[in-house]
Amino acid sequence: REEAKSVVLVDDPSKEAKKTKIYAVPELIGSRVRIQGWVHRFRPQKTNYFLVVRDGSAMLQCILTGDCIRTLDALDLTTESTVEVVGTIEKVKEGQTAPGGVELLVDYWKIIGRAPGGAEAFEGRLQPDTDASIRADLRHLELRGEIATSVMRVRALLLRAFRERFNARRITEVTPPCMVQTSVEGGSTLFEFDYYGAPAYLTQSSQLYLETVLPSLGDVYCIQESFRAEKSLTRRHLSEYTHLEAELVFIQFKDLLDHLEGMICEVVDVLLADPVASEIIKALNPDFVAPARPFMRLDYRDAIKYLNEHGITKEDGSDHVIGDDIAEAAERKMTDQIGKPIMLIHFPKLLKAFYMQPLASAPDFTESVDVLMPGVGEVVGGSMRITDYDTLMAAYKREGIPSEPYYWFTDQRKYGTTEHGGYGLGVERFLAWLLKRYTVRECSLYPRWMGRATP
Ligand code: 4AD
C-alpha cells in the first residue's frame, strides 16, 4: 500500500486517445482508445490484472501491468465500479480468446465511481441460491447480469424484427391509449382507477381502438403495455405485459392464420440471421430450431378428443367435454407432447370474448385462434371479428355488456363494415419460448405480478 501511494498515474495528453464505445473497438486495432464502463469481472495477478469492462454496448478485456497495478485504485478495485481505461487495442494472442477477439493494453486508467466491497460487495448481493423475492427486490442489480442482459438485448431485437416485418407488409404502427373506460376481455381482470371522479381502467387490449382506424390507415399494429388484474401466480401471467397487436382488414380467417404463421417464422429468421441474437439464442436455448411451416392447425373439438385420448384430464381428474375451457396445465401438457407450434382454432363462442365472429358452419363456435408454443403454451390469441351490426348488438346483450360506452366501436359496423380480424401476442411469452426461460418474469424489464409493483 505504501508503494502504491507513491505511484500516481498520469494520462499523457500528447498521446491522442479516441473516446469510443466498446462495440466499435474490433475496428480500431492499433489505435489508442478511451473507454468508460463498469468492471464486470477482474482477476488480479502478481504482474498483471485482467479486467473485463462492460459499457452496455459490449465487453472488453483490459490488461493492466507495471505502474497501472501499483496504484491505490488498483488495490481498492471492486466489481461494478465505474472506470475509465485508456490504451492500445490489440488482437488477442494466438490460442487465446476474449470478447470481440481483441484486448486493451492499458497505459492509463482511473476509477470514476467505486462500488463497495466487503459486506456490501456486488457479488455477494445476488447468489445462485438467493431467495426469489430478494431477487425480485434486487431486479435493478440482476439486470446487470449476463443472462438478464442477454434476454433484454434479444427483447429489443425481437421488437425491431416485428416492426421490420410489419413495415415490409405496409402495416402502420399506431399508439392507442392505456387509460380507457371500456373493457375488451371481460371485467374480471380490469384494473380500475379514479379518473377525475369517474371510473376508468388500464387497458387490457388495444384491439377495439385498432379496429377503429382500419378505415383510415388500413392494416395497423401497436406495441403497447396491457394490464390484467390476474389473481393467480403462474409462470406465464403478469399484471402488466407488452402486447403486440395487429388488425387486418378485408381478410378471411385463413388469411389471418397464414399471416400469423408468416410473421412468427419471419421474425425468428430475422433473429437467427442477426449475429447478436443468434449467439444469445444458441447460448440460452441450444436446442432451438426454427419452427417448420405450415403450423399444425388443430380444431378445438379435435383438441378435446386429443386430451381425452391421451389421458390429460381436467383439474378434478375428469375427462374434458366440448364447451370446457382447456386449463393452462392441460394445454401445456398437450403442447409439450406434440412438441411444435399449434394453432388451436374454432373455440366455443361462450368461452371467448363478445367480439368474435361465429363460424358459418357451426355458429356456437368462433373463427378464433390461439397459437401454442412448447414450454409456454398460449403466446397469441386472435380472431375474426363480428362484422354485422345486429350480431354485435346481440353479442353485447348475451355478455351483459351495456352497448352505450362502446358507441365508437359499434359505429365501425354502421359506417362501412367489412370482414377483418387480428391478434395479440404476449411479447414476454414469446421470449420465454424463444429463449427457454422458466417464467415470463425473466422477460420483462421490471415485471409486475400479483403483489409486486416494485422496483
Ligand atoms: O388472448 P388475449 O386475452 O387476447 C386479447 O387480448 C385480444 N383482444 C388480442 C387481439 O386480438 N388483439 O391476449 C393475447 C395474448 C395472449 O395470447 C398472451 O400471450 C398475452 O396476450 N397475455 C398475457 N401475457 C402475460 N401475462 C398475462 N396476464 C397475459 N394475458 C394475456
- pLDDT one-digit tens code per residue, 286-333: 999 999 999 999 999 999 999 999 999 999 999 999 999 999 999 999
Give the tens place of pLDDT for each residue, 358-396: 999 999 999 999 999 999 999 999 999 999 999 999 999
376: nearest Cα among 436, 314, 309? 436
Closest protein CA for atom 29 of ligand 1:
237
**Which cell is 451 given?**
403483489
Task: Report pLDDT for 151.
Answer: 98
Q: What is the pLDDT of residue 268?
A: 98
Q: Pick from 182, 189, 241 the residue to mutate for probing ligand 1's pocket: most ligand atoms within 8 Å of its CB.
A: 241
Measured between alpha carbons, how far is 64 from 137 in angstroms, rounded to an integer? 35
Shared fold status for 2-120 and 139-443 = no
C-alpha cell at 106: 492499458
Question: Worst-scoring range by mean pLDDT, 131-135, 202-206, 344-348, 418-422?
Answer: 131-135
Distances (CA, A) of 84 to 21, 114, 392: 12, 12, 64
- The predicted pLDDT at position 252 comes to 98
pLDDT tens profile 85-123: 999 999 999 999 998 899 999 999 999 999 999 999 999
Mutation pick for ligand 1 pocket among 228, 409, 449 (CB with most ligand atoms within 8 Å): 228
Spatial distance between the Cα atoms of 271 and 211, rounded to a whole number of angstroms: 29
Ligand 1 mean position, distance from CA 380 (Å): 7
User: Which ligand 1 atom minimizes the distance to the CA of 241?
Assistant: 25
**Residue 101 falls in which region: left (phi positive, over 0), alpha (psi -120 to 50) or beta:** left
Ligand 1 centroid vs 379 CA: distance in angstroms? 8
Measure CA of the first residue to CA of the last residue in the chain; give whole Å.
40
Q: Say how far apart CA 334 and CA 337 lie, in whole Å.
A: 5
**Ligand 1 atom closest to Cα of 371?**
17
Q: What pairs with residue 51 in β-bridges?
A: 42, 62
* Residue count (the chain): 455
Please provide the average confidence, as pLDDT, over all residues in the chain: 96
Task: Determine the Cα angle at 399 with ends 398 and 402, to 5°.
Answer: 100
- Pair 123, 50: CB distance under 8 Å: no
pLDDT at residue 186, rounded to an integer: 87
Whether the per-residue pLDDT at 13 is higher than 80: the answer is: no
What's the mean pLDDT in 183-199? 94
* Cα 280 to Cα 219: distance, rounded to the nearest angstrom: 32
| Residue ranges per structural domain of the chain | 2-120, 139-443
| Residue 40 pLDDT | 96
How far is 81 from 110, CA to CA, in rounded Å?
A: 10
Model confidence at 420, in pLDDT bands (50, 70, 90)? very high
How many Cβ atoms from other residues are within 10 Å of residue 119's Cβ? 6
Residue 6 has pLDDT above 90, yes or no: no
Q: Is the pLDDT of residue 2 over 90?
A: no
CA distance 326 to 320: 8
Percentage of residues in the chain with pLDDT exceeding 70? Answer: 100
Which carries the bigger pLDDT value, residue 252 or residue 123?
Answer: 252
CA 399–ligand 1 middle distance (angstroms) = 19
Ligand 1 binding pocket (C-beta < 6 A) is: 184-185, 205, 207, 228, 230, 237-238, 241, 243, 245, 378-382, 422-426, 428-429, 440
Output the CA 22–ligand 1 centroid distance in Å: 38
Q: What confidence score (pLDDT) does residue 338 get?
A: 97
Name the CATH superfamily, with its identifier, for domain 2-120. Answer: Nucleic acid-binding proteins (2.40.50.140)
Is a pLDDT exceeding 90 seen at residue 14? Answer: no
pLDDT more than 90, % of the chain: 93
CATH of domain 139-443: 3.30.930.10
**pLDDT of 1:** 84
How does 440-453 read in b/e, with b if 16+ C-beta sit within 10 Å? bbbbbeebbbeebe
pLDDT at 187: 86
Distance 423 CA to ligand 1 centre (A): 9
Q: Which of 44-48, 169-173, 206-210, 422-426 has the least mean pLDDT? A: 44-48
pLDDT tens track for 222-242: 999 999 999 989 999 999 999
